[in-house]
C-alpha cells in the first residue's frame, strides 16, 4: 500500500513509520506544522509541532529511508481547534482540544490531502488497535494493549471510514519502554525524547491565562446553590464543572465542606458553586453522534468521558432514530474481532449508519459520576471495542 506517515517528531510516530516501511508499504513521511509561531520552542515535555520537532521528524525519516515533507496546517489548526476551544469555553462548555485535533486535523485534513495525492492509508503513532472481522469485513477500533497510553478515546470521533484507512502499528505494544527500546535498536535519535503533554498550544501550561488573554475579562458573580452572592470572578471561561480551586469565594460554607462549580451561565456571567453531591450524574445526553456499529436500546455498554478516566457500566436508553437497527437485529450490533493491526482497507464494507443532525444518544450510568460537563466527549465501549462517540450536552 501507499502510506502517508504522520511524523510529529516524537518516538511513537517514528517507530510507527519504521514499522509501516518494514511491513513493505510505500511510506512517505509528513510533519504537520500546526503553530503559527515559527519561532516556537519546546520546553521539556510541553508543546509539540515546534521547530525542534520538525527537525527530529526529518532525521527520523532519513534514518528510516523514506521521503519527508512538512505541511503547513497552522491555519486549519487555528480555525478548527484553537478557535473551537475558545468558543466552547466562552459558551460555558468544557472542550477536549485533543479530540478535536484528532478529528479535524490529524484525520480529516490529513486524510483528505492523502486521498487527493493517491495514498491508500495514513499511519500514526497513536496507541490503539484496528481489527477486522474476517476477510472483507469492517475494521473496528479497539483499545491499545498499553492501557496507560491508550488513545482510543480521543480517536473515536474519527469514525469508521477513517479507521478503515488508518494504520496504528503501536496498538499491540504493552509498554512505552518497548517502543523506546525498538527506536534505540533502529538507531532513531528520538528514543529518549520526553513525551509531550498538556494542551500543545498552551505551552506554558497556564490555560486560564491563555483564555483571559484571548477572551478578555468579563466580571461576574459567584453564587451558592441558594442564589446568594458569595464572591466574584473575572470571566466564566476560567471555570469548569467540578472545579474546586480558584473559585473566588469570600466566605466558607456554613458546614465547612468544600464547594465545587456546579453550573456556569455565560449569559448572566454567573458561576454557581455547591456541595459535591450536586455534581453526581446518572444520565448522559449527547449529540453529534459517531457510530461504529448500530446500537440497540437496552444494550449494556461501558461509558468513558475523560481520556484516561474509567469506563463505567451503562445502559443505552436512546439512539439516533435513523441509525437504530430493527428490533432483534443483534447481528449488526455485535461482532467478534480478529487481530489485524497493520492492514487497512480502502473502503468500509458495511459502514455504520450516519447520525442525522439533531439526533442524540442517551445512556444511564450504573453508578453516579461526578464532574460531567457539556462539551466533553463520551465514548461507548463493548469490552475494548469502540461502539460510538458523541458530545455531551446535558446531565441528569
What DSSP string runs through 81-132? IIHHHHHHHHTT----HHHHHIIIIIIIIHHHHHHHTT-SEEE---SEEEEE
Q: Cell numbers 471555570 label which residue?
A: 239
Burial of 372 (0-12, 13-18, 19+ CB in 10 A): buried
Does residue 48 have an active-site annotation?
no
C-alpha span between 84 and 78 (Å, rounded): 9
Provide the edge-to-edge strand list for the sheet that holds 270-274. Answer: 229-233, 220-224, 270-274, 260-265
Residues shown for the chain: 396
Comparing CA positions, the residue from 292, 23, 48 lying closest to residue 155 is 292
The C-alpha atoms of residue 372 and residue 388 are separated, in whole angstroms, by 18
In this structure, is the dihedral angle defined by the CA atoms of residues 158, 159, 163 and 165, taken in order, positive or negative?
negative
Q: Which of 48, 49, 123, 200 is catalytic?
A: 200
Grid coordinates representing 329 are 437485529
**Catalytic residue, candidates 49, 98, 101, 123:** 101
Residue 9's closest CA among 83, 81, 63, 78?
A: 63
Task: Work out the number of other CB atoms within 10 angstroms of the CB of residue 62.
Answer: 12
- Catalytic positions: 101, 200
Amino acid at each position: 500500500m501507499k502510506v502517508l506517515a504522520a511524523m510529529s517528531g516524537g518516538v511513537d510516530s517514528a517507530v510507527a513509520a519504521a514499522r509501516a516501511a518494514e511491513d513493505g508499504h510505500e511510506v512517505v513521511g509528513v510533519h504537520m506544522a500546526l503553530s503559527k509561531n515559527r519561532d516556537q520552542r519546546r520546553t521539556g515535555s510541553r508543546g509539540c509541532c515546534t521547530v525542534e520537532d520538525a527537525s527530529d521528524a526529518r532525521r527520523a525519516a532519513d534514518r528510516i529511508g523514506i521521503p519527508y515533507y512538512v505541511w503547513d496546517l497552522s491555519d486549519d489548526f487555528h480555525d478548527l481547534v484553537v478557535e473551537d476551544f475558545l468558543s466552547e469555553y466562552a459558551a460555558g462548555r468544557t472542550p477536549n482540544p485533543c479530540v478535536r485535533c484528532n478529528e479535524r486535523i490529524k484525520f480529516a485534513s490529513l486524510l483528505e490531502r492523502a486521498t487527493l495525492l493517491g495514498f491508500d492509508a495514513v499511519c500514526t503513532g497513536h496507541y490503539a488497535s484496528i481489527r477486522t472481522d474476517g476477510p472483507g469485513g469492517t475494521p473496528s477500533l479497539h483499545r491499545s494493549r498499553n492501557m496507560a497510553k491508550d488513545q482510543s478515546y480521543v480517536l473515536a470521533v474519527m469514525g469508521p471510514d477513517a479507521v478503515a484507512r488508518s494504520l496504528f502499528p503501536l496498538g499491540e505494544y504493552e509498554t512505552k519502554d518497548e517502543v523506546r527500546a525498538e527506536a534505540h535498536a533502529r538507531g532513531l535519535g528520538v528514543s529518549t525524547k520526553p513525551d509531550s503533554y498538556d494542551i500543545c498550544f498552551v505551552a506554558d501550561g497556564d490555560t486560564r491565562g491563555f483564555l483571559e488573554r484571548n477572551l478578555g475579562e468579563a466580571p461576574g458573580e459567584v453564587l451558592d446553590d441558594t442564589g446568594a452572592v458569595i464572591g466574584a470572578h473575572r470571566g466564566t471561561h476560567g471555570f469548569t464543572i467540578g472545579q474546586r480551586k480558584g473559585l473566588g469565594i469570600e466566605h466558607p460554607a456554613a458546614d465547612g465542606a468544600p464547594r465545587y462549580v456546579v453550573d456556569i451561565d455565560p449569559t448572566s456571567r454567573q458561576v454557581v458553586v455547591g456541595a459535591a453531591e450536586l455534581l453526581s450524574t446518572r444520565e448522559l445526553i449527547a449529540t453529534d453522534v459517531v457510530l461504529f456499529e448500530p446500537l440497540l436500546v437496552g444494550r449494556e455498554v461501558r461509558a468513558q468521558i475523560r481520556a484516561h478516566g474509567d469506563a463505567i457500566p451503562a445502559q443505552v436508553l436512546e439512539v439516533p432514530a435513523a441509525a437504530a437497527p430493527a428490533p432483534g437485529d443483534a447481528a449488526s450490533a455485535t461482532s467478534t474481532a480478529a487481530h489485524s493491526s497493520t492492514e487497512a482497507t480502502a473502503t468500509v464494507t458495511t459502514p455504520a449508519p450516519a447520525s442525522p443532525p439533531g439526533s442524540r444518544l442517551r445512556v444511564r450510568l450504573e453508578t453516579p459520576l461526578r464532574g460531567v460537563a457539556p462539551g466533553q466527549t463520551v465514548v461507548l465501549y463493548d469490552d475494548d471495542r469502540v461502539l460510538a462517540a458523541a458530545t455531551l450536552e446535558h446531565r441528569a
